[in-house]
């Protein structure tokens, strides 16, 4: 249970972030739902119900992150931070423009850095806190045409271990989750844009890359996120948890 805990979840308006926010609320937490678009964050918070508080914030913007976490602290000390916000890109090193490479770095790496930096000082001062980063199997495997995305998720994994090591004696735990493909609105939008009329065929093809034979569900990631944030996971820090339908161990 997360009764009376205060959590902040980035990218909380849809997909994995929304599922984590919902799971934390169900477990008794107060959840600050951070998303780039304020209206989207507000819609998500209304749908989630009592205990959900919306914040419009571009996690790659230092000033916006500072303002957002000041507002969160004004309502009570933060116990849990989930760095979930992220963007993707398709391309190898030659076909990845510098602008796209930098955009992914700003959101997926700089965003984790800024939000962690904004939250962790108070956690360490109180001797209690949890940072949970959403990484990816792309941090471990050589996925085709995911050069920039893999780079950023490898950085997230490295930051997880570094923060865990630096703050283990100050009461802050830091772990990460590495999902494989998860069925979110992002997947549906990607298929509709790139494979019009072939959505079902391509969905089945993507699902089959997991040895278990399907994509993950956001609520499955959220259940693991709740465990790692709660007292049940109190002996765990500096760890990454693949939740991938056997992709890393059994693929190929």
> Would you please indicate which residues are annotated as catalytic (active-site) residues?
149
Per-residue pLDDT for the chain (252 aa), expressed as one digit of tens each?
Answer: 999 999 999 999 999 999 999 999 999 999 999 999 999 999 999 999 999 999 999 999 999 999 999 999 999 999 999 999 999 999 999 999 999 999 999 999 999 999 999 999 999 999 999 999 999 999 999 889 999 999 999 999 999 999 999 999 999 999 999 999 999 988 888 888 878 999 899 899 889 989 999 999 999 999 999 999 999 999 999 999 999 999 999 865
Cα separation, 10 vs 111, in Å, equals 9
Kind and range of the H or E element at 151? Answer: helix 147-167
Domains belonging to the chain, first-starting first, are 6-180+217-240 (3.40.50.720), 181-215 (no CATH)
Long-range CB pairs of 86-94 (<8 Å, 24+ gap) are: 86/11, 86/111, 86/134, 86/152, 88/146, 88/149, 88/186, 89/146, 89/147, 89/148, 89/149, 90/145, 90/146, 91/145, 91/147, 91/148, 92/144, 92/145, 92/147, 93/147
Q: Residues 33, 85: contact at Cβ < 8 Å? A: no
Read off the pTM: 0.96
């Amino acid at each position: 249970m997360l009764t009376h805990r205060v959590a902040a979840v980035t990218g909380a308006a849809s997909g994995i972030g929304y599922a984590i926010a919902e799971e934390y609320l169900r477990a008794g937490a107060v959840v600050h739902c951070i998303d780039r678009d304020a209206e989207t964050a507000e819609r998500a918070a209304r749908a989630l119900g009592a205990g959900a508080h919306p914040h419009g914030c571009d996690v790659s913007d230092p000033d916006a992150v500072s303002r957002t976490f000041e507002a969160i602290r004004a309502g009570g000390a933060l116990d849990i931070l989930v760095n979930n916000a992220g963007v993707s890109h398709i391309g190898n090193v030659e076909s990845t423009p510098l602008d796209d490479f930098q955009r992914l770095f700003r959101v997926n790496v700089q965003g984790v850095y800024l939000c962690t930096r904004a939250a962790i000082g108070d956690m360490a001062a109180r001797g209690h806190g949890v940072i949970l980063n959403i990484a990816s199997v792309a941090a471990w495997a050589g996925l085709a045409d995911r050069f920039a995305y893999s780079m950023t998720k490898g950085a997230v994994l490295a930051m997880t271990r570094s923060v865990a090591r630096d703050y283990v004696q100050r009461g802050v735990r830091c772990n990460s989750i590495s999902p494989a493909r998860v069925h979110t609105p992002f997947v549906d939008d990607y298929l509709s844009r790139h494979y019009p009329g072939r959505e079902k065929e391509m969905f089945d093809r993507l699902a089959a890359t997991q040895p278990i034979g399907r994509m993950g569900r956001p609520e499955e990631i959220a259940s693991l996120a709740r465990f790692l944030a709660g007292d049940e996971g109190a002996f765990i820090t500096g760890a990454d948890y693949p939740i991938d339908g056997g992709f890393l161990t059994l693929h190929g």
